[in-house]
Amino acid sequence: MIELSVNEVVDAIKACPKGNGASHVRSPFPSVSIDSRTIQAGECFIAITGEQFDGHDFVEEALKKGASTIIYSENSVDFSHWKDRIFLQVEDPEVALQTLARQVRKRWGKPLLAISGSIGKTTTREFIATLLSQRFKVVQSPGNLNNHIGVPLSLLQLMEEHQVALLELGMNHAGEIRALTKICNPDSALLTNVAAVHLEFFSDLDAIASAKGEILEGLPQEGKFFFNADDSWLSRLASHFSGQKVSFGLENEAGVRVSDYRLEGLREMSFVIDARGECFTAAVPFVGKHFLYNIAAAVAVAVSFGLTREEICEGIPKLEVPAMRGQVHQVGGEEGDPITLWDDSYNSNPQGLHVVLETVGQLSGFPRKILALGQMLELGSSSPELHRQAGQQVAQCKADLLVTVGKDGLYIGQGAREKGFPPEKISHFEDSQEAAEFLVKELGPGEFLLVKGSRGTRMDRIIREIEGRKGR
């Protein structure tokens, strides 16, 4: 973390120092943790209160593990036994965390790109980090820490040597992106797309687009907006943005455009990049049309940061798909050809599923192509129809067997049958564990399996069961 003194932090978060340790106000403020299970000796423990826990219940555990500083709010915290520790009482520990993060970001003062969108935030962020790392020391959100707690924790990673920061901003309600931009104060922003994600909490896609557009409110006048030119909602947002605009895409005219993609089975995907009139060919060791948007976005940012064509071409082959977001695994093979697993089990939504099925439809060379599709959550009253539409596409992607999981997964099967998918080739299960047991027995040598579903459906169980039992 950027160096701040305890005294500076006390002033910033309006804390009241307690106990004998308060005399250490001139010493450097330590790194921060909100988890007593993983806290390291010397760190500061912030007693955050969540929906199902109260951090104040774990202050004693944090102290026993060597926490040097405690930020808390409740008077019940007993600091009398800990003469060498610093106790800082605040009105709200969560607000204190966010205020501290703002102070760190302000002191660091270097370029920060905020990334959001309905689909592909994490993959886009990691692709950008890979390309920018060809020249810069980059720090990015760890994992998917992208909410009102995760964004501050990400900012607290900032060190003096970092030159660029990439922060992912998530939301499922209006106003959340606005609050996050006030914490991280971005210089530029990138939106991947607007899709029917969290539709349960919004009236329509226009409302989702408006909520995503809050990211622009926090940009300075000279700030840059990177946007997907193939998304009509984002193009509309861009038309009302007065700062610098950088577009990327596949179909429409854009500052960075990817075209002419070709698949070499599941091993490689090649394509042409047109970056501000300069064209060149590149390839990555994974496939999927949806990844081309992530690549286009990453190249657009890289060009904006001054990377040369040579640096970009050197970085693109290093791109890697994040875990559970389209990774391909080979399992078994001792008694024949290995089973091919496409692990996209992290999450699912109608648009994301559509583009994955589009790619699956282009694959050939397998004895059977099997789809394990879990229900998509937070779609509100539109859920049955959106699942039915997904099933209709299943019937068009040349699959041989469909396995559906979860209550609304039944509508996927219904839609598939409506378009002629054989009913005897559809199996439905209430949960992913039952589906896993079925697929372990069903899958044969050389076959292909796509696994995709919303996080709450736990489709990753299927991957683990197959790898554990077929990989022996």
Tokens of 48: 């955050």
Structural domains for the chain: 6-96 (3.40.1390.10), 109-318 (3.40.1190.10), 327-470 (3.90.190.20)
Instruction: Give the SS3 label for residue 180.
Output: helix
Tell how far CA 446 is from the center of its chain.
Answer: 31
Mean pLDDT of 152-177: 97
Beta bridge pairs of residue 360: none
pLDDT band at 87 (very low <50, low <70, confident <90, very high): very high
Q: Which helix (H) or strand (E) holds 462?
A: helix 460-470
Asked whether the predicted pLDDT for residue 23 surpasses 70, the reply is no
Radius of gyration of the chain (CA): 24
In which band, very low, low, confident or very high, does the pLDDT at 21 lie, cut at 50, 70 and 90? Answer: low
Q: Which residue bears the tokens 């026993």?
A: 64
Tokens of 361: 């439809």
Query: What's the pLDDT at 22?
Result: 56
Q: What is the pLDDT of residue 198?
A: 85
User: Beta strands 32-33 and 369-374: pairing type?
Assistant: unpaired
- Helices 93-108 and 6-13 pack at an angle, to 10 degrees, of 120
Of 141, 118, 117, the C-alpha closest to 129 is 141
Stretch 161-188: mean pLDDT, rounded?
Answer: 97
CB 245 within 8 A of CB 224: yes
Contacts of 29 (CB under 8 A, 6+ apart): 1, 3, 4, 5, 6, 8, 9, 44, 69
pLDDT at 199 over 90: no
Is residue 113 a contact partner of residue 189, using CB atoms and an 8 Å limit? Answer: yes
> pLDDT tens across 338-375, in order?
999 999 999 999 999 999 999 999 999 999 999 999 99
How far is the first Cα of the chain from the last one, in angstroms, to the nearest whole number? 44
CA gap 252, 269 in Å, rounded: 21
- The one-letter code for the residue type at 99 is T
Question: Which residue in the block uniquely carries the two structure tokens 């308060």?
Answer: 22
Q: Count each helix (H run) and each strand (E run) in the chain, helices first.
A: 15, 20
Burial class (CB in 10 A: 0-12, 13-18, 19+), 247: buried
pLDDT in tens, 245-283: 999 999 999 999 999 999 998 989 999 999 998 999 999
pLDDT of residue 76: 83
Report pLDDT for 84.
86
